[in-house]
C-alpha cells in the first residue's frame, strides 16, 4: 500500500499531466485520474514503475469512460427518436418554460404525477394505474383534468395557436 507522502508527491508531480493525458479521450479527465489514484492506493503493493502504470490505468479508464458516454448518448438519441414530438414546432407555438414549470408544480400531487409519468415517462394509463394504485380510467381522468388546469394556468405567449382539444 502506498504511503501518504508518496501519494502527495506523485500528485504534485504528475496529476496535471495525467489530467491532460486523459482529456484527449474523455470529457471528465479529473474523475479518471482520481479513479486511477484510488486504484493505486488500494493495491497491496505499488507497481515497480508507478508513473507508467498510472498513465496506463488513466488511458484505459479514459477510453472506457468515453465508450460509456458514447453508448449513453446513442441510447438517449435512439430513445428520443422513438417518440413523436410532444409539442408543435415553430415560433408560433412557443411556451414560456418557466410558466409551464410553475403551473405544473402548482397542480395537486396525483394529476402532476400522472402528467410526469405519461408525458416524460411514456407510461400508459394502465401502467400509471399500477404505479399509483388506481384504475386506468382514474389515471386518465386525472391526466385530462391536469391538462385542463395547465391550460388555465399558462398564459399563451403572443403568436401562439389557440388550444386544440385533447382526446
Task: Return the C-alpha cell found at 91.
Answer: 415560433
Confidence of residue 153 (pLDDT cuts 50, 70, 90): confident
CB-based contacts of 47, cutoff 8 Å, min separation 6? 53
> Is there a single domain that holds both residue 98 and residue 43?
no
Q: Domain boundary at 56, 81, 106, which? A: 81
Taking a C-beta distance cutoff of 8 angstroms, is the pair 131, 123 a contact?
yes
Q: What is the pLDDT of residue 159?
A: 46
Q: Say whether pLDDT at 117 is over 70.
A: yes
Residue 167 domain flag:
no
Report pTM: 0.49
Task: Return the C-alpha cell found at 146.
Answer: 391536469
> Is there a single domain that holds both residue 10 and residue 75?
yes
Q: Say whether pLDDT at 127 is over 70.
A: yes
Q: Domain boundary at 48, 81, 114, which? A: 81
Domain total in the chain: 2
Residue 162 domain flag:
no
Q: Can you tell me the distance from the alpha carbon of 115 to that of 77, in angstroms, rounded to the nearest whole number?
A: 22
Amino acid at each position: 500500500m502506498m504511503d501518504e507522502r508518496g501519494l502527495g508527491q506523485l500528485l504534485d508531480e504528475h496529476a496535471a499531466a495525467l489530467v491532460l493525458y486523459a482529456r484527449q479521450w474523455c470529457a471528465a479527465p479529473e474523475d479518471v485520474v482520481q479513479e486511477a489514484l484510488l486504484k493505486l492506493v488500494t493495491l497491496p503493493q505499488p507497481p515497480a514503475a508507478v508513473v507508467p502504470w498510472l498513465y496506463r490505468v488513466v488511458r484505459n479508464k479514459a477510453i472506457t469512460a468515453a465508450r460509456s458516454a458514447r453508448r449513453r448518448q446513442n441510447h438517449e438519441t435512439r430513445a428520443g427518436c422513438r417518440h413523436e414530438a410532444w409539442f408543435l414546432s415553430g415560433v408560433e407555438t412557443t411556451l414560456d418554460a418557466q410558466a409551464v414549470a410553475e403551473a405544473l408544480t402548482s397542480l395537486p400531487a396525483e394529476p402532476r404525477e400522472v402528467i410526469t409519468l405519461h408525458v416524460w415517462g411514456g407510461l400508459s394509463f394502465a401502467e400509471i394505474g399500477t404505479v399509483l394504485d388506481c384504475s386506468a380510467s382514474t389515471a386518465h381522468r386525472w391526466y385530462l383534468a391536469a391538462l385542463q388546469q395547465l391550460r388555465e394556468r399558462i398564459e399563451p405567449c403572443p403568436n401562439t395557436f389557440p388550444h386544440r382539444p385533447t382526446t
